[in-house]
Amino acid sequence: MEVDHPELEALRGRARDEEEAYAAVLAAVDRLASFPLPAEKLPELPAQMARLNQLWQASPPPPSGSGLGGRLARRIWQVVAPGFSRQTDFNSALVQILNGQVEENQRLHAHLRELAAALVHYLQRVLPLMDARDRMASALSTTRSELILETFDRRLELLARRIQGLQALGDRLETVSETLNALRAALASREPPPAVTQAAVRAADDAPYVSFETRFRGESAELRERLGDYVPLFRGLAPVLDLGCGRGEFLELLGEAGIQARGIEANAHVAQLCRERGLDVVHGDLVAFLRSQAQGSAGGVFASQVAEHLPPEVLVETLREAHRVLRAGGLLVLETVNPRSVVGFLEVYNRDLTHQRPLHPETLSFLAAAQGFSDVRVELRSPVEPAARLQAIPVEGLPEPAARVLNENLERLNGLLYAPQEYALLARR
């Protein structure tokens, strides 16, 4: 997009003038370079010079004959012969000068034509060279700009991490402050410290993981958008139990849809924050929470990014209790990282140190079916952007079978490397 500015307009005008002057100079030199050589303009000159070289040596032979006439002719020849000799020398010198002049003139004209052609060739390359330099300067300028922006991005990312760290520290300080206030109140009233103090200390210890989830799982708005697809699955299935509810995004979505829901969260700090926002969240162990629920008392059980945190025996017990708690027709939804996606495994699963082990979709499906769930199926989620996948090879210029096989192999690699990064297990009671 061009920017209107008086100075820029003046520069554009000057550039146009210079381009026109350059074109005029190039045209003039091109015209000058087209002059004819003497041999081209005077095609008869070589024949004339050959004739001149032949004639300059011609002189009458000495007279012969007897008698008075012969003697008289020889006498006259002896008188005029020196004049013929000088004329011959003169003709020789003149012809040699003409020969040399013509030869040098032809060489000079040929040299001038070669010089003019070289000058035209040079001038014709000046403008492309200037264009190439401009493009190189523009490319270097763009590269420098990209490097500057990349540096700023890294600094912004570092600043964001520091801000998140400060937020986590602030949360811990706030919790510690509440604990100290409770201790002061207990000491002032000479009463035992309140039981909530222990929970507050646990909440302070759990606060840093909140910053970790915010950094790598995304902001609440982003998570709400991603989890919104699950809400319609639980219509008519209240109440819904959200295992490991985290910051409560899915509980909020269910509440907005008019679906009663309750959450269990092992992170004391997060559970406290959820309760402060009016969400029904219990802090504790999710298996113990399920055991405390009556048989058939829930219509849905949901857990997002929780199953991979559980040891195998705890995962099996969670599935068993979820099956007991759900009523007939109830729905279980477990979302987890897809280990069949190399990108998902490397970039999502390995990032969190609290993950126990990856769960293959077939393994989780088998465990759910073994606990009595039916209609067990898997839905792939979080696809990789198409631009990040391996691109197909154009078939132009390649033998058709080779191009087809190559693209089939690329598609297999895409299926392995860039498969959807998450999947959801859906099962019915």
Confidence class of residue 72 from pLDDT cuts 50, 70 and 90? Answer: confident
Please give the distance of CA 407 from its chain centroid, rounded to a whole number: 22
Q: In the prediction, which pLDDT does 197 show?
A: 47
> In this predicted model, what pLDDT tens digit does every residue of 171-216 receive, in sequence order?
666 666 666 776 677 677 666 555 544 544 454 444 455 544 554 4
- As a whole number of angstroms, the distance between CA 280 and CA 267 comes to 15
Tell the residue number behind the tokens 């991005």, with chain if given.
153
Nearest alpha carbon to residue 282 among 243, 319, 309 = 243
Q: Does some domain include residue 295?
A: yes
Could you tell me the pTM of the whole model?
0.52
Q: What is the total residue count of the chain?
A: 429
Please give the distance of CA 292 from its chain centroid, rounded to a whole number: 52
Q: In the prediction, which pLDDT does 201 show?
A: 47
Between residues 353 and 57, the one the model is more confident about: 353
Could you tell me the CATH number of the domain that includes residue 306? 3.40.50.150
Phi, psi of 282, deg, nearest 5: -110, 140
Q: Does some domain include residue 272?
A: yes
Provide the token pair at 94: 């003149």
- As a whole number of angstroms, the distance between CA 320 and CA 367 comes to 9
Residues ≥6 apart with Cβ < 8 Å to 250: 227, 230, 231, 242, 261, 302, 304
Structural domain that includes position 293: 233-385+423-428
Tell the residue number behind the tokens 């920017």, with chain if given.
3
Provide the token pair at 40: 């081209």
> In this predicted model, what pLDDT tens digit does every residue of 282-320 receive, in sequence order?
999 999 999 999 999 999 999 999 999 999 999 999 999
Query: Out of 55-69, 279-293, 318-332, 415-429, which region has the weakest mean confidence (pLDDT)?
Result: 55-69
Three-state SS annotation for the chain: CCCCCHHHHHHHHHHHHHHHHHHHHHHHHHHHCCCCCHHHHCCCHHHHHHHHHHHCCCCCCCCCCCHHHHHHHHHHHHHHHHHHHHHHHHHHHHHHHHHHHHHHHHHHHHHHHHHHHHHHHHHHHHHHHHHHHHHHHHHHHHHHHHHHHHHHHHHHHHHHHHHHHHHHHHHHHHHHHHHHHHHHHHHHCCCCCCCHHHHHHHHHHHHHHHHHHHHHHCCHHHHHHHHHHHHHHHCCCCCEEEECCCCCHHHHHHHHCCCCEEEEECCHHHHHHHHHCCCCEEECCHHHHHHCCCCCCEEEEEEECCHHHCCHHHHHHHHHHHHHHEEEEEEEEEEEECCCCHHHHHHCHHHCCCCCCCCCHHHHHHHHHHCCCEEEEEEEECCCCHHHCCCCCCCCCCCHHHHHHHHHHHHHHHHHHCCCCEEEEEEEC
Q: In the prediction, which pLDDT does 413 show?
A: 84
Q: Does some domain include residue 61?
A: no
> In this predicted model, what pLDDT tens digit does every residue of 79-121 receive, in sequence order?
766 766 666 767 777 777 777 777 877 787 777 777 777 777 7
Q: Does some domain include residue 197?
A: no
Q: Does some domain include residue 111?
A: no
- Range among 20-24, 331-335, 341-345 rated most confident: 331-335
Q: Does some domain include residue 335?
A: yes
Confidence class of residue 29 from pLDDT cuts 50, 70 and 90? Answer: confident
Q: Does some domain include residue 294?
A: yes
Q: Does some domain include residue 392?
A: no
Please give the distance of CA 67 from its chain centroid, rounded to a whole number: 115
The total number of structural domains that make up the chain: 1
- pLDDT over threshold 70, residue 401: yes
